[in-house]
Structure 1
Amino acid sequence: MLGVRLDSELEERLAAVARTQGRSKSDIAREAVRRYVDLYDEAYRREARRQSVRASRREVAADYAFWETIEREDAAWK
């Protein structure tokens, strides 16, 4: 269950759309939230896939060089 506060103008517009479509305000709000979540969830998944593919293409040698540099710097501090 979710309660949402809308400003009066938006609530009036929502009510008008609901009347026009013969649906409840809750039905329209539920559909709008579902579409929003689907859109942003899919965008998140696409970005995660993109980064995963990018990381898999990176050369392993670069990773080793990075960690070797860190180890040398760490040893210098001791």
Structure 2
Amino acid sequence: METQADQETADQTMEAFAAEVAHWREVRSLSKRALARKMGFDPSYVSHMEAGRHKPTEEFARLADEILNAGKAIWRRWLDY
């Protein structure tokens, strides 16, 4: 059974992942729509993921890290899950 502390940790991990993606997306001057297009994802998925409404998939994390040239920073955040 998940405790409140477990949920808070999961929420913090999600926020950290979303912030990492947003950071690198902004560093690379890409809109959410442009990133989604490059990744082959629906733009709403990128938006929902950055807002913490969807848990990112492994594929999303790998592609985001590669396309944003984040040096595995995004991938490491995903592994924290």
User: Could you state the TM-score of these two structures normalised by the residue count of structure 1?
Assistant: 0.35
Query: Could you say which structure has the larger radius of gyration?
Result: 1
Q: Which has the higher contact order (CA 8 A, sep 6+)?
A: 2
- Structure number with the higher helix fraction is 1
